Each structure stands twice: as C-alpha cells, then as structure tokens.
A and B are shown apart, each in its own frame.
Chain A
Amino acid sequence: MNTKSISLTLEIWRQKDSKSKGDFETYSLENISTGMSFLEMLDVLNETLTGRGLDPVAFDHDCREGICGMCGAVINGIAHGPEPETTLCQLHMRHFNDGDTLVIEPFRSRAFPIHKDLVTDRSALDRIIQAGGYVSVNTGGTPDGNTIPIPSATAELSMDAAACIGCGACIASCPNGAAMLFTGAKISQLSLLPQGQPERKQRAMAMVTTMDKEGFGNCTNERECEAVCPKGISITNIARMNREFVKAAMLG
C-alpha cells in the first residue's frame, strides 16, 4: 500500500450537550497518512486536542468494520462521506486530497436529538422495531428448520433487506427526515418470508404508525437515502412497505 501524508482543515460541529447551542470550530491537521481510516484521523485529532488540554470531539463508533452501525457523520454534505456503500469507519483518507477542507456534522434530523458534538440519540429507530419488527415466537417449541422451505431467491431478497445496519444515514440525508428506508427494510425482510405472514398486516400498521409518531417525515422519492446507504439497501423496499401498509389499512 502506498501511503502519503496530507494536511487538512476540519470544520467540526461542536455542541456541549443537548441543551446548549452548537457551532462549527476549525482545526488544522497535518501529517495525516492516507492509509488511515476517517475515524483514525479523528483519533489523531483527539489525541492532539487532549495534549493541548482541549475537549476532544465526541463521536460514536464501535466495531470499525462497517457492520455495527454505531458510527456516522455527514462529511461535506454527504452522510458517511464520498465513497459509495461505505460507513465512516471504512472510509479511508486516500479518498481526500492534500489541502482539503472537510465540514463534519452529526446526523441531523428532528427525530435524532444531539447529545454532544457528533453523538446523536437514535433510539427512535429501536422504538420502530419494538412496534413490530419481529416474528412473535417464544424460545423453544419451534419446528425443525427444514420444515419451512424457502426458495433460495426469496431468502436472498429477504437478506438484501435484512443487511440494514440501522446507522441512520438514510434519515440524515433525506430532506424530509424520513425513516422509510430503515422501516421498509425490516418490513420487507419479514413480509417476504413465510415466517412473517401471520403478523404481516399488524406489523406494517404498527411500524408505520410509530415511525410517524416519532417525528420522522414522509418519502417524496428524492432517493437520497439509497444513495448514502452503506449496505446498498434499495428503495424498492419503500415501495414494498407502502404496498404492505395500504393493503393493511384498506383491506384490514
């Protein structure tokens, strides 16, 4: 791997806590290896700030392998930055140039209050799942796995939707702050499978209602969500959710 060093100007959203007003602060960073991940670059910034007695930038992160969905920020207007199908932790600095200015903001949405700096409260997504994003089976007493045959193509389609990591980039990038890609993915995963059939209607109703109640907006086919989704979840899942919802609402 050929790496070089670049210098950057960072304009980062700093906000003390959920009650305080936030603003951008500017930092210059030198000697950033292009082999670093974006979060490692933030680590370097934080080590520098700490050494100077300043408050490091708070940001969420955990697996750093692109699967836990914990990390995320908007880089120059794009959730998770410029690379397609990439979480912030898997974005590498070689995609930036020496002298670039990077504007770094939290995932903003009415339903995502800011805790501090880049750390937001995404618990509304958990409440959407709690409304019905499951098959109601207790532990034990389930039939042998092979008694429910599922065509390979159906399993794959369901898996495409199930790949969602719940990061919230879709919401941050939607002009309406809609959580429809997130909700549509879960509804699709389960409505495609035989296991999801018994609760299909109440699931669609309950999840969509909760989504609205939590303050998420509606879909107006901007397709921004699909463009930033690190797992490439397709908006056909939104169409499927709408069909599920209409069927449940109209036909009962």
Chain B
Amino acid sequence: MEASRETTAAVHSSSVASGRTLWKDLARDRYLYLLLLPGLFLILLFRYAPMYGIVIAFQDFNIFKGVKGSEWVGFDQFSRLFNSPDFYEILRNTVLISLYKLAASFSIPIILSLLLNELKHVLFKRVTQSIIYLPHFVSWVIFSGIIISFLNPVDGLFNMIASQFGGAKTDYLGSSAYFRSILVLSDIYKEVGWGTIIYLAAISGVNADLYEAARIDGANKGRQMWHVTLPAIRPVIIILVILSLANILEAGFQQVFLLYSPLVYDVGDIIDTYVYRVGIQEANYSYATAAGLFKSFVAMVLIVSVNKLVKMSGQDGLW
C-alpha cells in the first residue's frame, strides 16, 4: 500500500514539468474537481465572502460607519491587549489550561477506545458507548451547577463526606491550588466519551486478519494493541492532534466563566474571560476581534509548523 502510493507520487512529480501535462491532469481529474466544486462553493460563499470583516481588528469599528467608514487604528487594539497589566498572567493561564486539556483529550480517549474494543459482549459494548458519551450533551451551564453542588464549601457532597469523617471543609472553587485541576478534570469527564467515537470508527476499519496473525505469533492483548491497533489508527491520531492545536489559546470560555471568581483570577483568568469583561465595559467589538485574530494567528502558525514536522517525519499531514 505504501509502496504503490510512493510510485504514484513519483510518476506524478516527474511529469509536472510541461504545461500540456497540466491540462492533461486537469482533464484526467475532471470528476475529482466536480466532486470538489459544491463544497468549495459553499466555503467560498459562506466563509470567504464575509472574510473582509477581519479588518475591523485594525479599526475603531462603528457598525453604522461600516468597514469603509470606520477609523483605522492600525495595531492599537493589539498593543492594548499585549500591554494590559495582566497580559502575561492571562496568557500563561490560557496556555497552561489548554495544554493540560489537550494532553488529556488526546490520550485518554485513545486508551478508552482500545479498552472498549476489547469488550466482546456486543450489547454491553454498545450500551457502554452510548452512556459514556452522555456528559457531552450536558451544557456547561448545567454541568457547572453540578460541579458547584459537589464542591461548594457548605453543602457540597465532597465536603459533606469529608465532614462525616471529621475532615475540614475546603473551598475548592475558591482555591488557587485546586482551580485548574477542577477545570481540566471536569473537561475530561465531559468530553472523554465523545472523544472515543472517532477512534472507535477508526478501529473498526482495522483488518481482523492482522489480529489473527499477531495471535499466532504469540502476541498477548497488550502487544496486539501496541503493534496492530495503534499503528492502524495512527494517521487519525496525528490528524486529530494537529487539528486540536487550533484550540491552543482556547481554554474554554464558558467553563471558566461559570466557575471562576475573583479569588482564583490568578490561576483562572484567561484571554477570553478578560476580553469579555473589557468588552462588556466598552461594547468594543474591535478589541474582541483583535484578540480573536491574535489567537487564530498563533494557532495557524502552530498548525502549519507541526504539519510540516509531521510530513518531514514521513507521516501524512493535513495536506
């Protein structure tokens, strides 16, 4: 399979030179372009046509003056963001929280799907799958309420249990030591089951003969997972990791916003919550757009570089 790909690629690159082959290639792949067309059309129409709106990050935008009429302020909005007193703190919080989440959201669903795959009882397996993805459907508004009812220092379940055993009551949500862990753990809890779906789809495509061959070679379950399943789903894992870099500066606005308080600003205030508070104060769309653009730019740079690294290592990247 690998070999045949490489030959196609080789044939392809050797024939690029002349213009005639271009037309030949286009004609040869006319049906592929036909397949590409409708999707491309939607993207151009609904995503690129409104793209001019990005420039308002460089403006002091007024909706009634429009993009054309609003005053240009260059990089003022950006420098205001970077020069805000706590910029370092909120950037650090954002990156740390999202990195923890990224690491968890990449590794735990893989492990879970490998284990799920070992459940031989079909009904049990299906019921399990259908239940562990339930928390994904609980919105953060509700879920934060549940977290609070478990962790609050007065009648929270954790504290009630602790006090049964004579323990002291702890204000988990108001404690800088616990806050990030609460964010990360609750995020794992909520999204881990949902995250397994895609890997289960990938695992279902693995050739059953390979397992048989591995068994005959005397490989136990662990070795089968390591030597058969994981390599087979590696391309999907790589793509998902690259794509998840898009969220490198997205630490989860709703979740943080619903759970934080001034007591944990030092560890919990992130770019989005900060910009939100400023925005509420000023109704400043340009500022919010500038912050968004900054986040997207960082993510873009990361994705493109990691994609390059992946391809250099001989794996399939995004393109």
Do A and B interact with each other, yes or no? no
